[in-house]
Amino acid sequence: MKLKTVQGDITSFKTDAIVNAANSSLLGGGGVDGAIHRSGGPEILEECKKIVAKQVSCKTGVAVITTAGELPSKYVIHTVGPVWNGGDNKESQKLANCYKNSLALAVENNCKTISFPNISTGVYRFPKEKAANIAVKTVTDFLSAHNQVQEVIFVCFDDENFRLTKNELENRD
């Protein structure tokens, strides 16, 4: 099964890469961003600072890669999700770009297994049902064109995201 969803804390997942729902500063924050930096340790922030020094900030939809520090995975792929502003500001396309660009970067770095959180559905207030549909569709489309990826796991922290993501996966089959 190349695509599945589980409920849990992404910082404990041993996939080659885990994806972080970061902000444009790449200097950490709350939510999953805070959890990854807390558990991964200072190495991750050091590499983020080097990236920001070069490219000033990380734009919405873009993905960058760093070490995973103390985390069980090899890499952390940081991507900046869109803040929900009612939906007329290309939020859906920007969210799809987060998944696409994170997967492309994972493939470039020979990652065979990748875990995603529910990007933008916390602080950034993206409607969870719409976000789950975009996530599953975008990843499904990517996997159909890239057989290098062996497994993608949607790691849902809260019950609602888990239920919605499971529904999207079941409706897709």
Is 32 among the residues that bind ligand APR (CB under 6 A)?
A: yes
What residues are annotated to the active site? 33
Cβ proximity to ligand APR, 65 vs 121, nearer residue: 121
170 contact partners, CB below 8 Å, separation of at least 6:
none
Tokens of residue 11, six digits: 């910082």
Q: Which of 122, 132, 165, 166 binds ligand APR (CB under 6 A)?
A: 122
Give the binding range for ligand APR (CB under 6 A) out of 8-16, 48-56, 101-109, 135-143.
8-16
Show contacts with ligand APR in window 131-150 (CB under 6 A): none
Cβ proximity to ligand APR, 31 vs 74, nearer residue: 31
Cβ proximity to ligand APR, 40 vs 122, nearer residue: 122
Q: CA 40 → CA 1, 14, 19, distances in Å? A: 28, 13, 13
Long-range interactions of 125-132: CB distance < 8 A, separation 24+: 125/83, 125/84, 126/81, 126/82, 126/83, 126/84, 126/91, 126/95, 127/84, 128/160, 128/161, 128/164, 129/164, 130/92, 131/95, 132/161, 132/164, 132/165, 132/167, 132/168
Count of chain residues binding ligand APR (CB under 6 A): 26
Is 118 among the residues that bind ligand APR (CB under 6 A)?
A: yes
Is 31 among the residues that bind ligand APR (CB under 6 A)?
A: yes
Q: Which of 58, 155, 164, 169 binds ligand APR (CB under 6 A)?
A: 155
Closest of 114, 119, 140, 164 to residue 13, by C-alpha? 114
What is the spatial distance between Cα 32 and Cα 50, in angstroms, rounded to a whole number? 21
Is 11 among the residues that bind ligand APR (CB under 6 A)?
A: yes
Query: Pattern of binders to ligand APR over 80-99, x per CB under 6 A?
Result: -x------------------
Q: Which of 2, 6, 7, 29 binds ligand APR (CB under 6 A)?
A: 29
